[in-house]
Structure formats: structure tokens, C-alpha cells
């Protein structure tokens, strides 16, 4: 009896099933997860430290062994074999199942931590209790849901980071970049804050690599009080927090583009690049998605700026003898800073802004109007009828929890791995604004070499149609580009190169007629 082969690929058959050893590696990895699951359902493990170690080691060993089995027999080079055939990476049944499971985990984590075993007054139970020994070892405190999350997050970045390095081992940029995100996650986000908590109990938890507006809560009253009451180290951290917004970040973005943060340092980017690598091709490349992206992400920037201004405003006073910074001078300062940035962009960078200028102008107008209104209409801590606390809570709920966690990570298998970075992250938006207007970074294209294979566009996690630029030989200077370098890594012709160079001539749109720009039928059939 003959069978019909429906596959029309010229490049060989898609992988049919996992090899026996790969199945074993998968089983080992899942056995680690099952230990955590059993603990969540209330199973008591006698020696918690031992079982936690076993669980984390099993997850780590399962992923790394699977990686070795997947790539060791193959020559160096990109191996994205069968991504559109596998159910989990092509929005198939397993993709949806994975999405639902991760989303469910985030909902419980953010809104129902008691089901993970968090007990406010008393000893933890469930899976959080399983992490108590590790937490006590590092900070001296019992675990919280955030410690459990931080540990799993770090393990995921380390294990899948090894997978990523192995997969892209032909590319030096990818190897160094991945080692960097693994280091920053393990040291700056996980170990150092825990040890700081052990050394100085009154110091607020501070992930040193999280910069405002990503850590939108950094300048809240309780944190400011915590920093100030913790002596020199607290004050140093507070100053570092301010410097990182106004000095460190602008300088690095000017020199290297936003990639220094989004692809080399940031934890969200780190998880997206490593654990989310298998889903990068799912990003939406349509012009419509690009438009939505600009509107949503810039609205989030306006929201976070308003919210932070309102929070700081609410705890300042009006008495000049008591406060060196009063409510009015603070508002004037914020309004002047925004005016300066806006005026600079409009006067010197108007040409480069194009459509974005309008969006910037609207956003800016909203911020200024609300600021002025705040000053005129607000009472102590109020903005119109809202308390600054209400604004902060709404932001924390809508953006901090729902967008960054539930949608941003839970929807990896559906919308791709950078949904949050692309549509929701205010930090990425601000860095992107600078990257577009005032940075040396660009991706150069050697258009004559391009064979229009489309690999670059397919694997661009930010949904940039890289090929369209390559075909025109035009530099890619896009706000959203996180400089991951994957477009360059997957290009078979060496067309794309990530470079830092002089500002002059960086944005040079080639006048090529594209289908997007004009309705050709209107020209063909003049009325």
C-alpha cells in the first residue's frame, strides 16, 4: 500500500519523533517539574533541601542533556529545523497547552500565592516551603513566592542559555551576549540582592540591573525611606538608581544602542532570548502590528511617567523651609525636562522622526496637560479624583503583572518571545526613542548580496521586516530593534552587520516604491 507524502520541502523531512535518549532527557527534566508540582499539591517532602536540589538539578540536567543530544552530531550553524512543523513551536496543540500552563502559573503567582503555600503569619507550606532552605541559606529569611519565581527564572535562563550557546556556537556575538545575560541574571538579579538582604535587613530588595521605568516602584515612598534609613549603602543605591536613569543608560545607549540593555543585561530579555528562543519566529511582521506596537508602547511610557510623577509628587511638601524639592518645583522640573527633550527632537531630529513625531507629540501633550492639571486640581496626593496610590496600583496590576508576566511570558508560544519587550516595556520604548534619534548603533546591509530568502525577517523576534531593508541596501535603524543579532546570524549571505558608527548618514531611507506605500491599482486604473 502506498502512502502520500504531503511534505513539499526540498530540505528533507521534518523531525518525526524524539530519539530515545532525547525522550529520557525530557523525562528527567519533567521529573524535576513534577517534584515542584507535587509540593504545590501539598505533598510533604521529608528533607526539603535535598528534594529541592534534586528537582532543580533534574530540570537543569534534562535541558542540557537534551541540548547536547540535539546539536552535538550536527555541524556548526543555525539549526531551526522543523520549527514550523513542531506543534509546540507552531501554535499547535502543545503550543496552546504550554501557553495556558505558563499563563496559569503567572495568575497563581501574582494573584493567589496562597495556593503556592505562602503563609503570611507562620511557616510556609507547599512549594514555597520547599524553597525555604535555599532562601534561608542566602538571605536568612523564609522564601516568598518571588523567591521561588526568581530561582526558577534563573535556572531557566542558565539552562536554556547553555542550549542557546550550543545552538549558536558558530557566532561569537551570540555566545558572549548570552554569557552576559546569564551572569547578570544569576549575580545581579538573584544572588547579590539576597546577600544584601542578609547584610542589611532594612534595605529594600534591589535588583541592580532593573532601571526605572522597568522598576516603576523604585521611587516610592517606602523604598526611599528604606534607602535613606539604611545608611551609606542605601544612599549609594538610591543615587545609583537616579544615575542609571539619567547618566549610565543614556551614555551606553548612545554608544551601543539599546542592545546593551535589552539583549545583554535585562532579565526579561534574557528569558526571551534563552527559554523563548524556540518561539522567536512567531512574532507578527505585519505593518498593522507595527502600528499597534507604537501606539501601545508609547502609551505605556506616558502612563508610567505620569504614575511616577504622581507618586513622587504625593509625598513632597509645599513648605520651602522643610523640603529642598517642593511639589511645584518638582512639577516644573519634570515639565521643563520633557519640554527640552521634545523641543530638541522637533528642532534637530524632525526629519528622522517622520510618523513617530506625531505619536511623540500626542504623548507629550497628554503628559504636560495632565501635569499642569495635577498642579491646579489636585489635593494632597490626588490627581483629579484619583489618588496617586490608585494610579500606582492600576499600573502595577495592568502593566507590571498582567502585561509583563501573564501575557509577556505566558504567551511566548502564541505571539512570540518578545511580546512584552515589543508592546509593553516602557524601558524598551524610551531606549528605542534614543536609539532611533541619538545613537551610533545601526545594522548595515550589503544589499547586493541579499537573495531575499527571508530568514532574517522570519527570526526577528521584534517583528521587523529586515529583508525589506536588506533588499534596498538601507541601514536598519528601528526603535524596536533590540540588537539580538539573530537576523545577522541566520543570514546565509552575510548581508547584515551590527555596527556602531558616526551619526551622520545613519538614517538614509532609499526612495524605493513599496507596495505598502502606495496602492498600485490606483495608478493602474486612474479614475
Instruction: List, in order, residues 6 or more apart from 493 with CB less than 8 Å away.
Output: 449, 450, 451, 453
What minimum distance in Å lies between the beta carbon of 476 and ligand SF4? 6
| Contact predicate 404/268, CB 8 Å | yes
| CB 484 within 8 Å of CB 263 | yes
- Residue 180 Cβ vs ligand SF4, minimum distance, rounded to whole Å: 15
Instruction: Decide: 73 and 33 in contact? Cβ < 8 Å.
Output: no
List of residues 6+ apart from 310 with CB closer than 8 A? 374, 383, 388, 391, 392
Contact 331, 374 (CB under 8 A): yes
How are the residues of the chain apportioned to helix, strand and coil, as percentages rounded to the nearest 5? 60, 5, 35
CB 138 within 8 A of CB 191: yes
**Cβ closer to ligand SF4: 167 or 223?**
167
CB 216 within 8 A of CB 429: no
Toward ligand SF4, which CB reaches closer, 357 or 453?
A: 453
Closest to ligand SF4 by CB, 56 or 271 = 271
Q: How far is the CB of 484 from ligand SF4 (least distance, A)?
A: 4
For 189, the grid coordinates are 538579579
Whose cell is 513551536? That residue is 89
Within 10 angstroms of residue 163's Cβ, the number of other Cβ atoms is 21
Closest to ligand SF4 by CB, 396 or 454: 454
From residue 82, alpha-carbon distances to 9, 245, 366 in Å are: 10, 42, 47
Q: How far is the CB of 232 from ligand SF4 (least distance, A)?
A: 40
Residue closer to ligand SF4 by CB (options 150, 483) is: 483
Smallest distance, ligand SF4 to C-beta of residue 472, A: 11
Taking CA 487 as the corner, what is the angle to CA 484 and CA 490, rounded to the nearest 5 degrees? 120
Q: How far is the CB of 290 from ligand SF4 (least distance, A)?
A: 12
| Least distance CB 166 / ligand SF4 (angstroms) | 20
Q: Which is nearer to ligand SF4, 152 or 484 (CB)?
A: 484
Q: Residues in the site for ligand SF4, rule: CB under 6 A?
A: 443, 450-456, 460-462, 464, 466-467, 470, 476, 481-487, 491-493, 495-496
Find, among 178, 146, 139, 173, the residue nearest to 162 by Cα. Answer: 178
Phi, psi of 304 (to 5 degrees): -70, -35
CB closer to ligand SF4, 23 vs 170: 170
When the beta carbons of 29 and 416 are compared against ligand SF4, the nearer one is 416
Query: For ligand SF4, which is the closer residue by CB, 31 or 449?
Result: 449
Smallest gap from residue 451 Cβ to ligand SF4 (A): 5
Grid cell locating 140: 536568612
What span, in angstroms and rounded, lies between the C-alpha atoms of 148 and 54? 15
**Shortest distance (Å) from residue 296 CB to ligand SF4:** 18
Amino acid at each position: 500500500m502506498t502512502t502520500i507524502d504531503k511534505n513539499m520541502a526540498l530540505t528533507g523531512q521534518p523531525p518525526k519523533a524524539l530519539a530515545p535518549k532525547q525522550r529520557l532527557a525530557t523525562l528527567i527534566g519533567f521529573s524535576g517539574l513534577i517534584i515542584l508540582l507535587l509540593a504545590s499539591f501539598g505533598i510533604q517532602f521529608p528533607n526539603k533541601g535535598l528534594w529541592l536540589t534534586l528537582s532543580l538539578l533534574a530540570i537543569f540536567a534534562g535541558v542540557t542533556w537534551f541540548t547536547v543530544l540535539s546539536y552535538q552530531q550536527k555541524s556548526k550553524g543555525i539549526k531551526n529545523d522543523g520549527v514550523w512543523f513542531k506543534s509546540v513551536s507552531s501554535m499547535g496543540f502543545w503550543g496552546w497547552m504550554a501557553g495556558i500552563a505558563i499563563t496559569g502559573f503567572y495568575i497563581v503567582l501574582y494573584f493567589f500565592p496562597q495556593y503556592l503555600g505562602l503563609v503570611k503569619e507562620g511557616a510556609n507550606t507547599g512549594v514555597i516551603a520547599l524553597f525555604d532552605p535555599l532562601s534561608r541559606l542566602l538571605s536568612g529569611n523564609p522564601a516568598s513566592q518571588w523567591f521561588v519565581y526568581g530561582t526558577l527564572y534563573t535556572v531557566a535562563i542558565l539552562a536554556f542559555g547553555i542550549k542557546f550557546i550550543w545552538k549558536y556556537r558558530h557566532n561569537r556575538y551570540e555566545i558572549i551576549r548570552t554569557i552576559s545575560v546569564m551572569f547578570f541574571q544569576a549575580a545581579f538579579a538573584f544572588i547579590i540582592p539576597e546577600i544584601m538582604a542578609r547584610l542589611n535587613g532594612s534595605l529594600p530588595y534591589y535588583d541592580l540591573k532593573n532601571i526605572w521605568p522597568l522598576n516603576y516602584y523604585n521611587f516610592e515612598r517606602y523604598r526611599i525611606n528604606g534607602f535613606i534609613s539604611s545608611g551609606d549603602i542605601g544612599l549609594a543605591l538610591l543615587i545609583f538608581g537616579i544615575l542609571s536613569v539619567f547618566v549610565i543608560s543614556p551614555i551606553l545607549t548612545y554608544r551601543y544602542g539599546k542592545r546593551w540593555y535589552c539583549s545583554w543585561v535585562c532579565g526579561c530579555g534574557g528569558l526571551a532570548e534563552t527559554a523563548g528562543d524556540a518561539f522567536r519566529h512567531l512574532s507578527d511582521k505585519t505593518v498593522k502590528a507595527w502600528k499597534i506596537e507604537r501606539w501601545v508602547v508609547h502609551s505605556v511610557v506616558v502612563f508610567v511617567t505620569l504614575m511616577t510623577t504622581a507618586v513622587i509628587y504625593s509625598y513632597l511638601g509645599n513648605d520651602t523651609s522643610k523640603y529642598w524639592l517642593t511639589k511645584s518645583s518638582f512639577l516644573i522640573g519634570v515639565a521643563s525636562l520633557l519640554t527640552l527633550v521634545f523641543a530638541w527632537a522637533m528642532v534637530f531630529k524632525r526629519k528622522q522622526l517622520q510618523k513617530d513625531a506625531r505619536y511623540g507629540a500626542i504623548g507629550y501633550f497628554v503628559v504636560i496637560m495632565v501635569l499642569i492639571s495635577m498642579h491646579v486640581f489636585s489635593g494632597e496626593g490626588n490627581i483629579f479624583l484619583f489618588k496617586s496610590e490608585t494610579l500606582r496600583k492600576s499600573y502595577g496590576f495592568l502593566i507590571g503583572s498582567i502585561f509583563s508576566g501573564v501575557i509577556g511570558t505566558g504567551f511566548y508560544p502564541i505571539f512570540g518571545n518578545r511580546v512584552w519587550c515589543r508592546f509593553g516595556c516602557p524601558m524598551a520604548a524610551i531606549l528605542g526613542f534614543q536609539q532611533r534619534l541619538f545613537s551610533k548603533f545601526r545594522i548595515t546591509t550589503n544589499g547586493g548580496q541579499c537573495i531575499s530568502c527571508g530568514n532574517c525577517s522570519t527570526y526577528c523576534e521584534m517583528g521587523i521586516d529586515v529583508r525589506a531593508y536588506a533588499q534596498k541596501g538601507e541601514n536598519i535603524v528601528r526603535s524596536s530593534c533590540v540588537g539580538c543579532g539573530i537576523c545577522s546570524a541566520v543570514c546565509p549571505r552575510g548581508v547584515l552587520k551590527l555596527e556602531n558608527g558616526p551619526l551622520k548618514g545613519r538614517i538614509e531611507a532609499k526612495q524605493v516604491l513599496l507596495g505598502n506605500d502606495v496602492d498600485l491599482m490606483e495608478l493602474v486604473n486612474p479614475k
